[in-house]
Structure 1
Amino acid sequence: MPYQASRRSLLSAAAVAAVTAAGATASALPRRATGPPYGPGSGPVAGEEARRALARMSLEEKVGQLFVSRVYGHVATGPDPADADTFQAELGVRSAAELIARYHLGGVIYFGWAGNIRHPRQVAELSNALQRAARDSGAGIPLLLSTDQEHGAVTRIGKPVTLLPGAMALGAAADAEDALRAARISGAELAALGIRQDYAPVADVNVNPANPVIGVRSFGADPRAVAELVAAQVRGYQGAGVAATVKHFPGHGDTDTDSHVGLPVMRHTRAEWEELDEPPFRAAVEAGVDAVMTAHIVFAALDPAGDPATLSHPIVTGILRQRLGFAGVVITDSLGMAGVRQKYGDDRVPVLALKAGCDQLLNPPDLGLAYRSVLAAVRSGELTGARVDESVLRILELKSRRGLFGDPLVAPERVAATVGTPEHLSAAEEVAAGTTTLLANTQGLLPLDPVRYPKLLVTGADPDSPTGTTGPPTAVLARELGALGFTAAALPPARAVAAAPDHDVVLVCTYNVPQGASTQYDLVRDLVAAGARVVTLALRNPYDPARLPPVAAALASYSWGDGDLRAAARVVAGAHRPSGRLPVPVPGRWPLGHGLTY
């Protein structure tokens, strides 16, 4: 059945048909990565080790293994009074070590906002301290430490960790070998910090320009291309010893509600799901992915009950387990998100997630309540002991497969030998070089000649930079263009129009330009009206140029980290030829695979 655009999708039916056509252009498909799958295939050693651990655990310890919780502060014992107060208010304890001992936690997730991340050696030391706390409590089961290091728009750990292009930038490069290399580098650095599960890559196929939560976190709109890149990154992460976690099953790409704040509804038919949303998840399973994260979305064609997918037995067990044959760990998205809390209370959500077929319960808002609710469900018979054992065994097998039972500790003094090395930084520059897309060059202005156009003005949007970058995007671009022989200055939009006549070219950074009237539209309009030669650079979603007045040239970088901006600056200056191709169509302007070069 041919895909028809849903009412909530802003893509035309013709555009989406082009995305999913069997004869998609070669430029839209990545070059295939090679290498062995590093799968969950639980071998006899991992299975036996896990079964021995399970046999010595109490019910309380088993239930604790199901939970992955946040902690506060940068050390396990929590000497910072502010951290201790937050712990006490939210989690009922005063340190991470107490939390692990009380609830027999199976895992911990790191966040910058929780104070967990200061610098790489500190993260490694925190990981060791948490592992020692787990070793010294209960059954002594090692923790699975995790984070969301997608790169690009979602980057939890910044410099000096190597920062790599995000998913849509890799989709623009369309090179699965580069995607694999990026994941292998990231995985090696995470493993050096003691983090052995990454909630990446994103397997959602983004076919809705209005999607507020996925966008550039997706590799693109072509399910075949997304599948290639997802499989490559699974191999890269797991080849480096880190469990990859593809998300958000069964697919979050055609939503216009953010599941952090509401409950999105997917209106694809079952046939449309099979054509658009399923292929990347199937490819991940075939590549041997360790874990799959569920989405807090209603998908009526897959389950008419109206429950979010995280709580849906037909979706988690019927489709993911039985149809796709996935035998690894299923983890929920955060249980603190609004999408999973609207229909049921926080006491019921973890129980229903387990009944649906999930294994790991991620970051419940009230860990004590969630833990007690699961215990009560087992003791009442609503959940059987066998059902709990099934999930715990999968989690233990994953820990065994990733070597945590042997020695979960890392060497903090050796972090610098792996993290942010010259080799990794050089590889990141090489990967980023292929991502910038030249969308329009109507006046032949690019590449800029520093002799003919020596004075550049950089202005426009300055979103918060990805963690650990060196400054606002306009300042970084001005610095990089200065290094390439131009006289470049960064000015805020309020001063840019008046300053434009004193500059040869104005480079305007844009960030998620809305449809209709906006301050970003007004800025570009006023600069063009003043006679400025204007080049725009879409820092995030590449739909921006279609929502702005025509300009001399338009580029897309898909992210705004230092490496992404350096690559864009080199394209502007002609130091590197643009080679990126649109991984999503821009409605009304450019098709999938569009991209100009010099």
Structure 2
Amino acid sequence: MNDRHEKYGAAAERIGQMMTLDEKIGQLFTFYNLDPSYSEFAETAIAEWKVGGMFLDMDSLCEPEQVHRLTSRMQEAALSRGSGVPLFISADFVAGAGCKLSRGGAVHFPKNRAIGQAGDEKLAYESGRVTALESLAMGVNFNYSPVVDVNNNPLNPVIGTHSFGEEPALVGRLGAAVIRGYQDHGMIATAKHFPGHGDTHVDSHHDLPVLAFDRDRLDRFELAPFRDAIAAGVDAVMVGHIAVPSLDPSGLPASLSHAMITGLLRGELGFGGLIVTDGLSMKGVTSRFSQAEACVLALKAGADQLLAFARTAEEGREMVERVRRAVRDGELEEARIEQSLARVLALKARYGLTPDRFAVLPFDGGALNRPEHEAISLELARKAALPVNGLETAAGVPGSAGKRKLTLVRDRKLELFAASLAEAGWPAEERLLDGFADLEGALAELDAAAGADDEAYVIALAHNKPMPPEPLAALRNFASARRGKIVWVHFGSPYDAEHAPDLPALLMSDHAPALQRAAAEWLAARGGRENE
């Protein structure tokens, strides 16, 4: 336990002394919750297994009042029928408390890459502050965010726009600001995915990525933002399913590796907070181990919280029983359980998650979607807008719809962008795409229609990961005969612009609502200059 938690150690010790071994083990589990209402599975996990946390997957998240009802039921069950200790209730609110709500109701901030483009540490902090206030209003006290992976690999299939960027110093600086924003306002932050998932070409959801770099490169690059996060006082680190042969020749994923967790993260980097595994159902683990076996291996390695996915109560019970059996049989030392329990309870004490200090509060809808909070998101989005390839001078903006016929080719997800353009005086004929895969066919049809000489085009695409080169090549070919009459507004990976280096483009890096509004504002403010 590090100095930041020492003052809470006595409270943690008192609570721990009243627990049975099975209850202590239960505190080390966080299970996925897949239901928007309080379910039989949640009752079993909380009341029977005495779990320490529940993770709200996307299927749990509809709108704020519903989330508050769910989390309130969970906490009431934990206090009355569970361990008697309030739960960690976690979510992946990586882009604001509204980013995973299927029906909205909270601020959806620009993703990290857009925050990186804005480069504003104060606004990054503010995004964390607002996210904390809105999350807590719904009963979510633990955020599996921010991502501090350095994404310099255009072929990375999973991190993409979740990363602040490709420079370790920038990632570390902005990640630390977001962490302070969360934790200064009462929500636990998590730096992830240790030791760094940015320069990989394999998604750990599907297989085990390998960081095939030496220690010098890891220190300079992957590990640098985690050092910054630890220096900023981050309370949790999520360890990914990533093998690092130069540091652990066994080939184990970091999440199950004693060398990576206890040796590197605890020992060398000096992290004394809570270590959480990434989801143990991911193929980076289950391609070699069952989840039940992985639970034991992760605890042996030094993890404190097991993020476990169970489709049925029987699956979940098997994982919990496997850890209990490992302790009874001497395979896993009880002292190892006690170490993690102390960290869990100390962190809960620090955030008021103790029986004597915690109370389920009534829902306060006034804390959500406040205009001043939306204004912060829009300010971030405006600063994130990045014109490239000649658009910087507005020479590539095709002019207002009043002077040219405008055709907007857009992803269906960009409805707000289209509406904002129309509000700004740029009404356009629209061609809708279900996704980038439809782009080639749509452009071919527009080519065949042979529009008038004064026709202009805005091509608006949205995709969180790098696109394949084929649709981008089609876009480049379409634009080549329409110099000065086309602009590409890209709500996706900035790496895609490398496939069309001569096409004027506005890079937004994400399709969050504020980014759609900001892109329309940017075009409207500059369009028409060539015809003035």
Regarding TM over 0.5, the answer is yes
Deviates more, 1:565-574 or 1:202-211: 565-574
* CA distance in structure 2 between the partners assigned to 1:165 and 1:484 by the alignment: 22
- Is the CA contact 1:193–1:410 (under 8 Å) kept in the aligned structure 2? no
The match for 2:61 is: 117
1:477 counterpart = 2:423: no
Q: How does 1:438-449 map to 2 (within 5 A)?
A: 438-441=387-390, 444-447=394-397, 449=399
The match for 1:487 is: 427
* CA distance in structure 1 between the partners assigned to 2:160 and 2:231 by the alignment: 25
* CA distance in structure 1 between the partners assigned to 2:370 and 2:489 by the alignment: 29
One-letter code aligned to 1:205: V
User: 1:461 Cα shift?
Assistant: 4.0
Structure 1 410/435 Cα, relative in aligned 2: closer, same or farther at 3 Å?
A: farther
1:519 counterpart = 2:465: no
User: 1:295 Cα shift?
Assistant: 0.8
1:368 counterpart = 2:317: yes
* CA distance in structure 1 between the partners assigned to 2:98 and 2:408 by the alignment: 25
1:402 counterpart = 2:351: yes
* CA distance in structure 1 between the partners assigned to 2:466 and 2:180 by the alignment: 35
Q: How does 1:314-463 map to 2 (within 5 A)?
A: 314-365=259-310, 366-405=315-354, 406-414=356-364, 416-441=365-390, 444-447=394-397, 449-450=399-400, 453-462=403-412
- Is the CA contact 2:115–2:124 (under 8 Å) kept in the aligned structure 1? yes
- Is the CA contact 1:207–1:254 (under 8 Å) kept in the aligned structure 2? yes
* CA distance in structure 2 between the partners assigned to 1:272 and 1:246 by the alignment: 20
Question: Out of 31, 34, 42, which is 1:96 matched to?
Answer: 42
The match for 2:33 is: 71
The match for 2:193 is: 248
TM-score (norm 2): 0.90
The match for 1:56 is: 18
SS of structure 2 residue aligned to 1:221: coil
The match for 1:106 is: 52
User: 1:575 Cα shift?
Assistant: 6.5
SS of structure 1 residue aligned to 2:37: coil
User: 1:324 Cα shift?
Assistant: 1.1
* CA distance in structure 2 between the partners assigned to 1:575 and 1:531 by the alignment: 17
- Is the CA contact 1:193–1:412 (under 8 Å) kept in the aligned structure 2? no
- Is the CA contact 1:40–1:289 (under 8 Å) kept in the aligned structure 2? no
One-letter code aligned to 1:256: H
The match for 1:574 is: 525
One-letter code aligned to 2:423: A
User: 1:378 Cα shift?
Assistant: 0.4
* CA distance in structure 1 between the partners assigned to 2:153 and 2:19 by the alignment: 46
User: 1:455 Cα shift?
Assistant: 3.6
Q: How does 1:27-66 map to 2 (within 5 A)?
A: 41-44=4-7, 46-66=8-28
* CA distance in structure 1 between the partners assigned to 2:197 and 2:98 by the alignment: 16
Structure 1 unmatched ranges of 5 or more: 1-38, 79-93, 463-471, 577-598
* CA distance in structure 2 between the partners assigned to 1:364 and 1:538 by the alignment: 35
- Is the CA contact 1:299–1:309 (under 8 Å) kept in the aligned structure 2? yes
One-letter code aligned to 2:17: A
* CA distance in structure 2 between the partners assigned to 1:290 and 1:331 by the alignment: 11
SS of structure 2 residue aligned to 1:320: helix
The match for 2:486 is: 534
- Is the CA contact 1:40–1:290 (under 8 Å) kept in the aligned structure 2? no
One-letter code aligned to 1:269: D
* CA distance in structure 2 between the partners assigned to 1:392 and 1:327 by the alignment: 13
- Is the CA contact 1:295–1:333 (under 8 Å) kept in the aligned structure 2? yes
Structure 1 397/449 Cα, relative in aligned 2: closer, same or farther at 3 Å?
A: same
Q: Per-residue CA shift, 1:160-202, capped at 9, x if unaligned? A: 1011111111110111111101011011100111101000001
The match for 2:436 is: none
More helix by proportion, 1 or 2?
2
One-letter code aligned to 1:567: A
1:280 counterpart = 2:225: yes
One-letter code aligned to 2:27: Q
TM-score (norm 1): 0.80
Structure 1 358/285 Cα, relative in aligned 2: closer, same or farther at 3 Å?
A: same
SS of structure 1 residue aligned to 2:291: coil
Percent of aligned pairs with the same residue?
36
One-letter code aligned to 1:505: A
Q: Per-residue CA shift, 1:326-375, capped at 9, x if unaligned? A: 11100000001000122223231111101111000002443212111110
C-alpha RMSD of matched pairs (Å): 2.3
Structure 2 unmatched ranges of 5 or more: 433-438, 528-532
- Is the CA contact 1:200–1:247 (under 8 Å) kept in the aligned structure 2? yes
